[in-house]
Amino acid sequence: MWDERYRAGHYIFGTRPNDFLKEHFHTLPKGKILCPAEGEGRNSVFLAKHGYSVTAVDSSAVGLKKAEKLAQKNGVDIQFVHQDLTTYDLGENRWDAVVSIFCHLPEKLRKDFHKRVVAGLKKNGVLLLEAYTPDQLTHKTGGPPLKEMMMSKDLLIEELSGLRFTRLIELEREVIEGTLHFGMGAVVQAVALKK
């Protein structure tokens, strides 16, 4: 499905970074950052331009090829990994930060992934996350069509135990990112620190 979407002649989520990331990237410690479900590379390129060592993982070879072109155009080096997040080994105490932007997975896979994120972060490592909440289904301006793939404050508190939230809020904001995120959206935003 994603290979087909990324075959579009343009960057379907645009080439500019996510607004929440752009506003809060200063909360990320310098060092090794993981960008899961990175797609066409807009967020990883932004972080690399700000001096971070970035690993971008995605299951779409087509999306990563576009990400590589975007990185070359911006003169940055990023480690691109073509792998499904269900099998990608995050390791333990490996990452200074994980940047999860609209990384929507089926419930069982998401719970497992979030558990591995907590284990993979170093002490004082940071998770920065933005995702759609179930209220997004009424907006129909992007995101998956299934409530089970959405996130909420309560869900994140439950699934990310071991992290201390310095920001955790549900809000509505305009999300204008390429052609697939295109209007008012219901989102949850989180910045969390590994204890």
Query: What confidence score (pLDDT) does residue 182 get?
Result: 87
* Segments in the chain below pLDDT 70: none
The tally of domains found in the chain comes to: 1
Give per-residue burial for 136-168: e unless 16+ CB within 10 Å, then b.
beebebbbbeeeebbbbeebbeebbeebeeeeb
pLDDT of residue 180: 86
Range(s) of the domain holding residue 106:
2-194
Burial state string for 87-111 with b = 16 or more CB within 10 A and e = fewer than 16: ebebeeebbbbbbbbbbbbeeeebe
CATH code for the domain of 71: 3.40.50.150
Whole-model pTM over 0.75:
yes
In this predicted structure, what is the pLDDT of residue 103?
A: 98
Predicted local confidence at residue 49, as pLDDT: 98
For 80-96, write each residue's pLDDT tens digit.
999 999 999 999 999 99
Per-residue pLDDT at 1: 83
